[in-house]
């Protein structure tokens, strides 16, 4: 049930319209999450700025999608799991990659360390131990990558919490529950 009523992109004006027009130009559609965020153009602008900046970072799209799936599962965000299952496949993830990411694991040891670190950040609310950082560093990640992992966790916690609070209607193919 929607608790924040999304704006109608055809009826909105001003900054919200400009931002939603930019979303449509980039994606070809205006997802319900951005429509709901547009009730406060500042919220939508913050999301687009944060997401856009990280899109130019050192972590490749496949890894960013894996992070989004792992954090989305940890935060029980069905909207984000549905969106990133589709986006992850468009970025080259297999169905197995999607499921592994949602579980916070990977057959690739380097990706596995990244996903476990991200889940640790979520579980410990950012108060990680030296050993947690050492483990991701030992897997081959440097300072820039570690900084971006933290930023992606924060971005995804934001969208997860937003969608969970807003009750955003899923407008992507619904991600199934994880198999037992």
Q: Tell me: do 23 and 101 sit in the same domain.
A: no
Q: Tell me: do 100 and 153 sit in the same domain.
A: yes
Q: Tell me: do 48 and 74 sit in the same domain.
A: no
The tens digit of pLDDT for each residue in 36-47 reads 999 999 999 999
Q: What is the pLDDT of residue 118?
A: 98
Grade residue 179 by pLDDT with cuts at 50, 70 and 90.
confident
Supply the CATH number for residue 77's domain.
Answer: 1.20.1290.10
Would the pLDDT of 180 be above 80?
no
Q: Tell me: do 84 and 150 sit in the same domain.
A: yes
Residue 7 lies in a domain: no
Q: Tell me: do 42 and 107 sit in the same domain.
A: no
Q: Tell me: do 142 and 100 sit in the same domain.
A: yes
Write the DSSP string, the chain. --SSPPP-TTT--HHHHHHHHHHHHHHSS--HHHHHHTTSHHHHHHHHHHHHHHTTSSS-HHHHHHHHHHHHHHTT-HHHHHHHHHHHHHTT--HHHHHHHHHT--SSHHHHHHHHHHHHHHHTTT---HHHHHHHHHTT--HHHHHHHHHHHHHHHHHHHHHHHHTPPP-SPPPPPPP-
Q: Tell me: do 131 and 72 sit in the same domain.
A: yes
The tens digit of pLDDT for each residue in 73-107 reads 999 999 999 999 999 999 999 999 999 999 999 99
Q: Could you tell me which residues come within 8 angstroms of residue 85 by beta carbon, excluding any fewer than 6 positions away? A: 69, 98, 172, 173, 175
Angle at 122 between CA 110 and CA 26, to 5 degrees: 75
Q: Tell me: do 80 and 144 sit in the same domain.
A: yes
The tens digit of pLDDT for each residue in 3-44 reads 999 999 999 999 999 999 999 999 999 999 999 999 999 999
The tens digit of pLDDT for each residue in 132-178 reads 999 999 999 999 999 999 999 999 999 999 999 999 999 999 999 99
Could you list the residue range(s) of the whole structural domain that residue 24 is in? 14-54
Residues for the chain: how many in total?
180
Residue 6 lies in a domain: no
């Amino acid at each position: 049930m929607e608790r924040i009523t999304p704006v109608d992109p055809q009826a909105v004006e001003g900054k919200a319209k400009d931002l939603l027009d930019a979303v449509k130009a980039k994606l070809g559609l205006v997802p319900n999450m951005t429509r709901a965020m547009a009730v406060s153009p500042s919220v939508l602008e913050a999301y687009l700025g944060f997401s856009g900046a990280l899109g130019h970072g050192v972590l490749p799209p496949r890894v960013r999608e894996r992070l989004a799936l792992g954090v989305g599962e940890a935060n029980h965000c069905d909207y984000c799991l549905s969106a990133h299952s589709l986006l992850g496949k468009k970025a080259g993830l297999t169905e197995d990659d999607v499921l592994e990411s949602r579980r916070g694991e990977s057959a690739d040891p380097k990706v596995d360390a990244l996903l476990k670190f991200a889940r640790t950040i979520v579980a410990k609310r950012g108060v990680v131990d030296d050993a947690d950082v050492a483990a991701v560093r030992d897997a081959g990640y440097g300072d820039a990558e570690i900084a971006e992992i933290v930023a992606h966790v924060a971005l995804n916690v934001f969208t997860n919490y937003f969608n969970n609070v807003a009750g955003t209607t899923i407008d992507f193919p619904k991600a199934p529950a994880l198999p037992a």
